[in-house]
A and B are shown apart, each in its own frame.
Chain A
Amino acid sequence: MGLFDWIDDRTGYRKLLKSALYEHVPGGSRWRYIWGSTLSFAIVVQFITGVFLWMHYSPSAQSAWESVYYINEVMPGGWLLRGIHHYMAQLMVPLLVLHFMQVIIDGAYKAPREFNYWFGLGLLVLVLAISLTGYLLPWDQRGYWSTKVVTNLVGNVPVVGDAMQRTVVGDANYGHHTLTRFFALHAGVLPALLVLLIIAHIALFRKHGLTPKLPKKKRDGMFFPDQVLMDAVACCVVMIAVLVLVWHFKGAALGAPANPAEQYSAARPDWYFMFLFQFLKLKTFAPDGPFGENGLIVASLVIPGLVFGLLMLMPILGRWKIGHFFNVFTLFAGLAGFGYLTTVAFMKDAADPHYKAAVVQAQKDAARAMELAKKRDGIPTEGALALLRDDPLTQGPRLFKSQCASCHAWDGHNGLGEIIPDKDRSAPDLARFASREWLAGFLDPKQIETHKYFGGTRFVNPPPDDATKEKMAEIRKLLKPDVIPAAEPALLALATTPKPDQAKRDGWIATLTAASLPDNQDRITSLAGRLSAQAVAPKKSKMVRIILDDIPDYTAEQKDQLNKIIAALSAEAKLPLQKEIDAKDAAFIEEGRKLLSDVALDCTDCHQWRANEGGSGPTFEGYGSTEWLREFLKNPAHDNFYGKRNDRMPAFGEGSRLSARELDLLIHWMRGEE
């Protein structure tokens, strides 16, 4: 007696195997029967990869992202493992849909298979619930913020909502217990239910047999080997598709670590839930729509509930021919709706610059967090968020956007990549501030009046003097208040253009009289005439005049001196990006320093330098260095800097707008330091 006989004697496995493999297939094997098997295969793959991931995942607010990072970026083969798990989950949705379509179209849901169909619906819900709970586990910005939307929806369920939300979240706020609960659901409770339902589903499937597609094309066959072969080939195709996806996208993406303090507006659910996301945004459900205050509940609870109820009823309806027809029609209508809403959602995002900027920023943060973790040989115990919190490269641009970008630009954008239009740039562009390139541009007559430098400041566009301002105010009183802003340019031009062209002058006056309150036209005409006759052009600042009037007339020798002075001034900043060139040009820089000490080109008449006390201009001592910037930002109107000439640059002194730590982060970033 062989070993297998011995085993068979005691287990009867041969009979079991036989009944499993030699299932009757009416009409023979067909490709259209593969969907159930590929789905089962996908679930098996998720179990295998899931268990291995489980061995390396750590569900807590300080270790979830960190452990996933470690699996993905450090462990050999980890990216492949997580990639297969991730993309198989994505593929399961179309497989589910195909299986569902096959069941409805072939009428496999009809009596006596109602229960099997209902179990199938249960499986569908479970798979979606497992996907949903899995989405949070990496604890990245995307998963965190989009899952928050879902749990808030749960909180809106009438009566029991709050209790349900607390139960799911594990606390009033997201934290450790949210992760432990979601993880237990994702890897324990829901998969166990899934297995039970699958057993019931397959057992019933075996009991009733396969629903043949009529008319039968072939002789009746057996499950093994023909159908099994088709199924196995299909599973290979599914696996290959997953591997191609993993390969193409270089594994599954991991976003920036979840930051409860930083709303992530680009948070989106996985693609197969995008239709629901879009559905919730429909105007019909807005507070001023037909459902009023109940819009949210109708959209998130009532309508999905009705749709699910309809799905449950399908086997009953299917008893009648017309009912079956209705079911098939509903299926396709539903798929069309799904497709439509999904497409709209993706197209809207693709056309939204704000969304795209947020996504790019999140990708940058994610890459930066991983880069820092690698550089520092690990993540501090407080978690990856601490890496980003103390990182100038991450925080600098954000601080710039919130504190400086209302006046300054950074390479033309707001620090985070959103372009600032010229009209909103009223102060110099600060990218590479104090570098040779920046200074050469500042001292260039062609550039100083552009928005990159002083174009938006009063150094270039000085306000009229006080007497003129009074006269302007007098005229303003005679205008209709609502049109004053529109008339302002004409008024200013009139006040600051001496001996203007006659036609222009009349044009400006006409603009003012047109804006006049009733019966004031004559008075305006006379006042405006007087204003124009006494008009004086206000003077641009001394520095701007030097640049516009003196520098173009420099001799070759003076130009050479200016270059040396620029190099010396820029070397004061000790910018990392100029480290090499500063070292290389040491002699050249030394000459520049000497020129400054000798008051060459008069610069240090006004700018403090070593023993020269200077005057009205900002100090050159340590110009652009960390210390200089810190003091400058604390109080730009200090005598060492802009003094009383300060235009609108606010003081960012400690405690006021920026903390000392934030100030340092910002300065380090501006200077290109890590």
Chain B
Amino acid sequence: MTEPTTTEPGQPGDRREFLKSAACAVFGTACIIPPVVAGVTVLTAPIRELVPEGVKVKLSSLDALPPGPPRLFSVSVERTDAWTRHQRNAVGAVFLERTGERTVKALSASCPHLGGSIEYRPEQKDFYCGIHDSAFTAQGDVVQPSPAYRGLDTLEVEINAAGEIWVVFREFKAGIKEKIAVG
């Protein structure tokens, strides 16, 4: 026991009152913890999920993609959205451009600035996002001045013996200079 100092309540009665108040706080907090913890656990479940692998999808074939301006293909995959199993679920879009005998270039149609949808403008021969006026060259590089920090995201392309064009579809973090896969 130390001598009561001036800042501490002096009377034993006050001390009891203080302990009671502390007990109120402890019990009052304890009883509400379980529902909050349960709720927050459920709420934050998505944060703890791993970054999913990219999905490989067949988008076209060499025969169907002659050389010329880039063409937009929508990407549908078999996937589970929470509880629903979809056979074909639209998840995004990709520009494909024939660049050689057996080479194809794939660019994500999601703007690297903030995820707007990119269109190809044939007259200007460039890519353009109408949300914040980001523009990209036909090769996908940023045209200054543009709000985007990086060029359009390229996607991995595989062409099999039968000439089918398969693309590994992924999504990348928007708004930064580096290309980091997030889904």
Interface residues of A (CB under 8 A from B): 41, 44-45, 48-49, 51-52, 55-56, 63, 66-67, 69-71, 74-78, 80-81, 84, 224-226, 228-229, 232-233, 235-236, 238-239, 242-243, 373, 376-381
Contacts and interface: CB of A to CB of B under 8 A. Distances in A.
30 contacts: A45-B35, A48-B32, A48-B35, A49-B38, A49-B39, A51-B39, A52-B38, A52-B39, A52-B40, A52-B42, A52-B43, A66-B83, A70-B82, A76-B45, A76-B48, A77-B38, A77-B45, A81-B35, A224-B21, A224-B24, A225-B17, A225-B21, A229-B24, A229-B27, A236-B31, A238-B31, A239-B32, A378-B85, A380-B84, A381-B85
A360 B3 CA distance: 69
Q: How large is the interface on B (under 10, 10 to 19, 20 to 34, 35 or more residues)?
A: 20 to 34
Interface string B55-97: 0000000000000000000000000111111100000000000
A30 to B, nearest CB: 16
B31 A243 contact: no
Interface of B: 17, 20-21, 23-24, 27-28, 30-32, 34-43, 45, 48, 80-86
| Most chain A CB within a 10 A radius of its CB, from B20, B35, B36, B39 | B35
A239 B35 CA distance: 9
Contacts of B84: 63, 66, 378-381
Contacts of B27: 229, 232-233, 235-236
A75 B85 contact: no
B25 to A, nearest CB: 8
A242 B32 CA distance: 12
A143 to B, nearest CB: 18
Nearest to A38: B31
A44 B31 CA distance: 11
Contacts of A75: 42, 45
A377 B79 CA distance: 9
Given A49-B35, A52-B38, A77-B38, A376 B24 contact: no
Contact of B83 (A77, A225, A373): A373
Contact of A77 (B28, B31, B42, B86): B42
Contacts of B34: 80, 84, 239, 242-243
A646 B139 CA distance: 78
A414 to B, nearest CB: 33
A378 B45 contact: no
Given A229-B27, A232-B28, A70 B83 contact: yes
A378 B83 contact: yes
A82 to B, nearest CB: 9
Is chain B's binding surface mostly helix, strand, loop or mixed?
helix
A379 B39 contact: no
A234 to B, nearest CB: 9
Given A229-B20, A378-B83, A48 B31 contact: no
Q: Which of A45, A67, A229, A235 has the most CB of B within 10 A?
A: A229
A196 B62 CA distance: 67
A62 B38 CA distance: 26
Contact of A80 (B24, B38, B81): B38
Contacts of B81: 378
Contact of A55 (B21, B28, B31, B43): B43
A233 B25 CA distance: 10
Given A66-B83, A80-B41, A232-B31, 7 more contacts: A67-B82, A81-B38, A81-B41, A232-B27, A236-B27, A378-B83, A380-B85
A83 B88 CA distance: 34
Given A77-B45, A228-B24, A379 B83 contact: yes
A48 B39 contact: yes
Nearest to A56: B42
Contact of B35 (A56, A84, A376): A84
Nearest to A380: B85
A67 B81 CA distance: 11
B42 A81 contact: yes
A243 B23 CA distance: 21
